[in-house]
Amino acid sequence: MKRVYNFSPGPSALPLPVLEKAAAEMCDAHGSGQSVMEMSHRSKDYKPIIEKTESLLRELMGIPANYKVLFLQGGASLQFAMVPLNLAAGDSGKKAAFIDTGVWADKAAKEAAKFTGVDVRASSKDRAYTYIPAAPAAKPDDAYYHITLNNTIVGTKWVGLPETGNVPLVSDISSCILSEPLNVSKFGILYAGAQKNLGPAGVTVVIIREDLIGHAPAKTPIMLRYDTHVEEGSMYNTPPCYSIYMVGLVLEWLKNLGGVPAIAKLNQEKAGLFYQYLDNSKLFYSPVEKPFRSLMNIPFIARVEDAEKRTELENRFVKEAAAAGLINLAGHRLVGGMRASIYNAMPIEGVQALIQFMEQFENK
């Protein structure tokens, strides 16, 4: 069997033991004589699977009892619309506050603006999103306050949280969920597409405080209301059953590893090694300001003055790395350069192999 080190930003690498377990259970899951893919979502065989996934997530994230956990479809991108539709689409005239820290934050704000007033309170666009701007406190009548905790494309992360008082703090945690400890009780809503740090694509986790449920206007489509999915336990219609099962396996793997504190330590170590290499390299550098560097997504750029020559060298790097079994290192099409996404499932050996390859490339 051939396995590469996959630095894809998403969908991304999954832990090998998880894939092996899924393979072993593929045709006969838990003695049911069926694959999880074939089970009725309302059957006695499937029910423990979704329940276990939820209870593991609650345990690993320390989700308080007054929060609901939902398994939805539509990706983080659908949450860009669902959040304003449920929290701010009435006639209150309230505005939603946004901090613009990159492509996804900007997309979330633009989508929200279709349903509510939006006020972008700070932005780091002036320096190509290479830092997190100082975020002002919420205004008491804000409908909600939205931040993108880890910025997947530019490779920044928040180091503190804005003061929001009684205004619900909402965060897109697609690319950092379960990578470090997070105090869920500071937030009104957290959401994450699974395909970065949780499992395969197809399921989106939403964690929502109970008092924020049930405020969507009557005309809101039933599938876009949080209360619909809360009342039906994420089973108003057929949920993404297999993806939920896979998330459960990933959570089980994480728990066996020692949970969030253990993976956070490992993530610090992995990212630390890579940044240390970049900061000492004569050929590559990190464009991100030090205090805001992401543990999960690490963009890097070749130090070549001429733009055309730089692109040429970077293309060669990405190609040669792939040939060496280090794949998906091209930067996002909007920002160029290169990027290594080193989510929870990336072993430290993968980071070490990448550094070694980069040293050799540099010497050549």
Ligand X SMILES: *Cc1c(COP(=O)(O)O)cnc(C)c1O
User: Which residues are known to be catalytic?
Assistant: 104, 172, 196
Which residues within the stretch 69-98 sit at the binding site for ligand X (CB under 6 A)?
Answer: 75-77
User: What x/- string results for residues 109 through 148 when contact with ligand X is judged by CB under 6 A?
Assistant: ---------------------------------------x
Q: Which is nearer to ligand X, 75 or 155 (CB)?
A: 75
Interface with ligand X includes 344 (CB under 6 A)? no
Which residues within the stretch 229-258 sit at the binding site for ligand X (CB under 6 A)?
Answer: none
- As a whole number of angstroms, the distance between CA 357 and CA 319 comes to 12
Residue 109 token pair: 């704000």
Interface with ligand X includes 152 (CB under 6 A)? yes
- As a whole number of angstroms, the distance between CA 83 and CA 114 comes to 12
- As a whole number of angstroms, the distance between CA 29 and CA 135 comes to 48
Stretch that binds ligand X, among 30-38, 122-130, 172-180, 328-336 (CB under 6 A): 172-180
Q: Which is nearer to ligand X, 17 or 74 (CB)?
A: 74
Q: Which is nearer to ligand X, 76 or 264 (CB)?
A: 76
Kindly report the length of the chain.
364
- As a whole number of angstroms, the distance between CA 355 and CA 85 comes to 45
CB of 293 to ligand X, least distance (A): 16
Rounded to 5°, angle at Cα 75 from 124 and 250: 100
Q: Which is nearer to ligand X, 77 or 281 (CB)?
A: 77
Q: Which is nearer to ligand X, 53 or 148 (CB)?
A: 148
CB of 194 to ligand X, least distance (A): 8
What's at 137, amino acid-wise?
A: A
Residue 167, class by beta-carbon neighbours within 10 Å (0-12 exposed, 13-18 middle, 19+ buried)?
buried
CB of 204 to ligand X, least distance (A): 6
Question: Is the alpha carbon torsion for 57, 8, 189, 289 positive or negative?
Answer: positive
CB of 106 to ligand X, least distance (A): 11
- As a whole number of angstroms, the distance between CA 292 and CA 285 comes to 15
Interface with ligand X includes 101 (CB under 6 A)? no
CB of 100 to ligand X, least distance (A): 13
CB of 362 to ligand X, least distance (A): 29
Among the listed residues 98, 104, 158, 253, the single contact to ligand X using CB under 6 A: 104
- As a whole number of angstroms, the distance between CA 48 and CA 56 comes to 12
Stretch that binds ligand X, among 87-95, 167-175, 281-289, 314-322 (CB under 6 A): 167-175
Residue 42, class by beta-carbon neighbours within 10 Å (0-12 exposed, 13-18 middle, 19+ buried)?
exposed
Q: Which is nearer to ligand X, 46 or 98 (CB)?
A: 98
- As a whole number of angstroms, the distance between CA 235 and CA 46 comes to 12
Q: Are strands 144-148 and 169-172 parallel, antiparallel or unpaired?
A: parallel
Among the listed residues 5, 6, 7, 10, the single contact to ligand X using CB under 6 A: 10
Helix (H, G, I), strand (E, B) or coil at 311: helix
Size of the site for ligand X (CB under 6 A): 12
- As a whole number of angstroms, the distance between CA 326 and CA 354 comes to 7
Which residues within the stretch 173-232 sit at the binding site for ligand X (CB under 6 A)?
Answer: 174-175, 193, 196
Q: Within 10 Å of residue 31's Cβ, how many Cβ atoms? A: 8
Chain residues in the site for ligand X (CB under 6 A):
10, 75-77, 104, 148, 152, 172, 174-175, 193, 196
